[in-house]
Structure 1
Amino acid sequence: MNMRLALSAVSIGACLATFPAMAESWKDKYPEIVLAMVPNENATGKNDRVTSFADYLSKELGVKVVLRIANDYTAVIEGQKNKQIHIGLYGPGSYARANTVSGGNVIPFVTTRNADQSIGYYSVMYVRADSPYKTVEDLKGKVLGTVDVESTSGFKAPNYFLTEQGFPIDKHFKLVQTTGSHENAVLALASGTVDAAVNWWNSDDDSNLTRMLNKGMVKKLDGSPMKKEDFRLLWKSPLLPGPPYAYLADMPDDMKKAIAKAFLDAPTKDKEAFSKLSDGKDIEFVPVTTKDYEESVKMNLWLDAQRKKKT
């Protein structure tokens, strides 16, 4: 009898010892999730639009979601590579870089669908309407304003496609000037610091330029607000994949599923927070995979090869 009691006690003890491990969830390992975004606008404006979405994610996931607005693209890429960032919003080119430098550990899971039902966006080049420039050829020897070397619409796509079309930007333009953000590129063009500027564009009434104009952010030298008619769209790229949100592949599967579900449910569970992300221009999140960004990886490889040739 004593032997049976002893064995029972051992069995109960073993069960109790393993219970905490069985009960542990991903939330115990990840009590805080960091959501970071590349700087496609000034940090204050981005923070105002995204804070309510981070709050929504915190509520849905049951852990604190901390928002970080990076100063440059590399900060998000390196932060996720080093696992200090769990979810990152990228352009397709900067995502491809993050995927490569992380050894495939940064993977996309959703992007957004535009109001016209399309998925994806374009890189465009603007000039001022009062300038004499009507074609890319007219800009020979002029100054081009770009965003960041890791920006798809603000550097990679125009570099890649313009070279294909016979206008390599490092040879066609007298100077290629990095402005640091999509907003800064527009402001540099408006002030005359650059002769042309590249940026992102979804449709005629939804672009970085139109959003800035709607907020009264772009002004003439006399302080009066500029209008869309004050700019001319001079060049547009082929359709680019939608900017992806990407998480770490080595996070627990149930955690990744919970994150993806929270994103996909956002338009119905917190329409206001979702709408703020795009000023009401996007209609939903849609799932994506690494296959959707294979062309972006190829673009990066081409750009890297061009840099090596110069060195």
Structure 2
Amino acid sequence: MQKLLTATALVSLMATSAFAQEFTEFNIGILGGENAQDRMTSNECFRVKIEEALGVPVKIFTPADYDGVIQGLLGGSLDYAWLGASAYAKVYLTDPEAVEVKLTKQNVDGSTGYYSIGFARADSGITSMEDAKGKVFAFADPNSTSGFLVPGAELAAKFGKLEDYFAEVKMSGGHEQTIVGVANGDFEAGVSWADGLGNWEDGYNSGAFRKAADAGLVDMSTLVEIWRSALIPEGPMVVRKALPQDVKDKVTQLTADLWETDAECAYAVAAGEAKDFVPVEHSAFEGILAARKLQEGM
């Protein structure tokens, strides 16, 4: 005789069915900083691994600007992203319950920070930020930590209103655009990000310069570093808080193990050489949250 389902088993079955109906795909948002195709190519290995782990289709989305990823996380259309600290601050200040902080990148020296690097063409005669006075200067994106928030605040504190110090202040749209723009002479100087470790000629160990150099977009010997910010906390990898716990756990563990399981894929995701992806907490970004509040007059 067919056995009747116990109440516990019935509830479990109903929960499983509801989960199957609710969780049908997983969407990854990649911040701007390089062109969309390169962002997708760099993260394809990661997408495949998550798809295999979760058993549902996984898609990569590459919005034109940082705010596209921010709004995707806030609106629930994106499930995962590696944010800069400033972008995370905007998400958190808009809705503290939208995402959970999980991991961050650990550099080869064990640190978990990076720098905003000011730079110019090597043949420009600009060797310092003082030399850049009266020049056309490029930032990356209003929601970028190293591409606007931190350098903007530090440079304004030292030189005053940036629109008065530079001949023109422009937003390039992303780190890659700034690097290529300075190299091509579209901007006379600008800022981008790097871990500051290794050699300038390689684009340092990791960061936007390393990505651009690896892609053959720029010869680093044609550029020169002219300024460096204080150390910035590496941005967090976040997951949408409303996701089922086992989904969040699987994605977090897969990412945490990536340097051990597939170093080539990890290199692509990390924008260069790194040591690991390690746990991080919300408290690591309190300083950036305060700076973002100040910027927005909150």
Give me the TM-score of the superposition, normalised by structure 1: 0.85
Residues 180 and 23 (structure 1 numbering): CA distance in 2 closer, same or farther, change over 3 Å?
Answer: closer
Matched residue of 1:212: which SS?
Answer: helix
Aligned residue number for residue 284 of structure 1: 276
Residues 102 and 270 (structure 1 numbering): CA distance in 2 closer, same or farther, change over 3 Å?
Answer: same
Is 1:136–2:129 an aligned residue pair?
A: yes
Listed as ranges, the matches of 1:260-271 within 5 Å are 260-271=252-263
Report if aligned partners of 1:89, 1:244 keep a CA contact under 8 Å in 2: yes
Aligned residue number for residue 213 of structure 2: 213
Q: Provide the identity percentage.
A: 26
Aligned residue number for residue 62 of structure 2: 69
Is 1:274–2:260 an aligned residue pair?
A: no
Q: Deviation of residue 15 (structure 1)?
A: 6.2
Matched residue of 2:256: which SS?
Answer: helix
Residue identity matched to 1:85: L
Cα deviation 1:88-116 (Å, max 9, x = unaligned): 12111111111111234223211111223
Query: Whole-Å Cα distance in 1 between the matches of residues 61 and 126 of structure 2?
Result: 39
Report if aligned partners of 1:159, 1:168 keep a CA contact under 8 Å in 2: no
Query: Whole-Å Cα distance in 2 between the matches of residues 245 and 163 of structure 1?
Result: 29
> Computing the radius of gyration over CA atoms, which structure comes out larger, 1 or 2?
1
Alignment root-mean-square deviation, CA:
2.4
Which structure 2 residue ranges, 5 or more long, are not aligned?
A: none
Aligned residue number for residue 255 of structure 1: 247
Residues 19 and 93 (structure 1 numbering): CA distance in 2 closer, same or farther, change over 3 Å?
Answer: closer
Matched residue of 2:233: which SS?
Answer: coil
Aligned residue number for residue 115 of structure 1: 108
Cα deviation 1:269-298 (Å, max 9, x = unaligned): 333322322355122110111111111111
Q: Deviation of residue 238 (structure 1)?
A: 0.7
Aligned residue number for residue 22 of structure 2: 29
Cα deviation 1:158-199 (Å, max 9, x = unaligned): 111112223432221121111111111112111222111110
Give me the TM-score of the superposition, normalised by structure 2: 0.89
Deviates more, 1:107-116 or 1:84-93: 107-116
Aligned residue number for residue 174 of structure 2: 181
Residue identity matched to 1:135: S
Query: Whole-Å Cα distance in 2 between the matches of residues 97 and 289 of structure 1?
Result: 16
Residue identity matched to 2:251: I
Residues 63 and 166 (structure 1 numbering): CA distance in 2 closer, same or farther, change over 3 Å?
Answer: same
Residues 273 and 132 (structure 1 numbering): CA distance in 2 closer, same or farther, change over 3 Å?
Answer: closer
Report if aligned partners of 2:33, 2:177 keep a CA contact under 8 Å in 1: no
Listed as ranges, the matches of 1:1-311 within 5 Å are 17-24=10-17, 26=19, 28-203=21-196, 204=199, 205-206=204-205, 207-218=207-218, 227-278=219-270, 280-305=272-297
Q: Deviation of residue 210 (structure 1)?
A: 3.8
Residue identity matched to 2:265: A
Cα deviation 1:42-69 (Å, max 9, x = unaligned): 1111111101111011112333221111
Aligned residue number for residue 4 of structure 1: none
Cα deviation 1:70-99 (Å, max 9, x = unaligned): 211111111110111111121111111111
Q: Deviation of residue 22 (structure 1)?
A: 4.8
Residue identity matched to 1:211: K
Cα deviation 1:176-235 (Å, max 9, x = unaligned): 1111111111121112221111100112323422432343213xxxxxxxx323211111
Q: Deviation of residue 35 (structure 1)?
A: 0.8
Number of positions where the alignment pairs a residue of Structure 1 with one of Structure 2? 291
Query: Whole-Å Cα distance in 2 between the matches of residues 73 and 14 of structure 1?
Result: 47
Report if aligned partners of 2:210, 2:271 keep a CA contact under 8 Å in 1: no
Query: Whole-Å Cα distance in 2 between the matches of residues 229 and 272 of structure 1?
Result: 26
